[in-house]
Amino acid sequence: MNKPIIAPSILASDFANLQREVEMLNESEADWIHIDIMDGIFVPNISFGIPVTEAIAAHAKKPLDVHLMIEKPENYVEAFYKAGAASISVHYEACPHLHRNLQQIKDLGCRAGVAINPHTNVQLLEDVIHDIDIVCLMSVNPGFGGQKFIENTYNKVRQLKEIIVDAGASTMIEIDGGVNQSNAGHLIEAGADILVAGSFVFKSSEPKDTIADLKNV
């Protein structure tokens, strides 16, 4: 089994000690740092924005994986690129001109991602699969950390993997929400490449060990 890319979500970290949390991730086996941006419109919660992302980037030694849970992401993509994003994911459900959004992200030199909500069928991405570097399958309804993993995600990973293989594309599959030690192995077996984990990492007593456990699951 290939080792997954581990992307701890900073959303579950201690915001009053962000520098310390980022330094912990620097020293850990984490590959990327997942940054959850919520606007209170696309999702029923507000997280943080561009200045906080810049502050994280100033200390991070790992690439920032920015997940935009916002309406009109095209208005903010460049600002997040300038703030330090290495990859930027927009939501399918927020993008009537998805192909244009993806080109905008690629033109900046970032990896382009599309996140889809639990109810959104993976087949809707078939015609743009070659334009997508990362599909982020939401395994919870976006908006909050600490929710229960939705089991149907396994089917979606398998279906999406088939679409990617059939198309001969190199798109990576990222899983976001409720990831833990008991579902990580099954997700990788099903075809996942990247695991995002928030609460499971930051609420554990030894986050660095928890990250290593996920990496070597």
Phi, psi of 39 (to 5 degrees): -105, 0
Contact status: 146 vs ligand DX5 (CB under 6 A): yes
Contact status: 211 vs ligand DX5 (CB under 6 A): no
Structure tokens that stand for 194 in this block:
């990247």
Among ligand DX5, Zn ion, none, residue 118 binds (CB under 5-8 Å by kind) = none
Contact status: 161 vs ligand DX5 (CB under 6 A): no
One residue of 63, 84, 178, 191 binding ligand DX5 per CB under 6 A: 178
Gap between the Cα atoms of 46 and 36, Å rounded? 10
Contact status: 49 vs ligand DX5 (CB under 6 A): no
Contact status: 156 vs ligand DX5 (CB under 6 A): no
Check: CB of residue 140 under 8 Å from CB of residue 178.
Answer: yes
Query: By C-alpha distance, which of 213, 206, 215, 200 is closest to 9?
Result: 200
Supply angle C-alpha 198, 90, 94, rounded to 5: 115
Contacts with Zn ion, residue ranges (CB under 5 A): 36, 67, 176
Which of 39, 65, 131, 176 does the annotation list as catalytic? 176
> What is the nearest approach in angstroms of ligand DX5 to the Cβ of residue 166?
28
Q: Is 31 a catalytic residue?
A: no
Structure tokens that stand for 123 in this block:
């087949």
Among ligand DX5, Zn ion, none, residue 87 binds (CB under 5-8 Å by kind) = none
One residue of 197, 211, 214, 217 binding ligand DX5 per CB under 6 A: 197
Structure tokens that stand for 52 in this block:
């906080």
Which of 22/126 has CB closer to ligand DX5?
A: 22
Q: Is 176 a catalytic residue?
A: yes
Structure tokens that stand for 179 in this block:
């990831």
Radius of gyration of the chain (CA): 16
> Which residues are designated catalytic?
36, 176
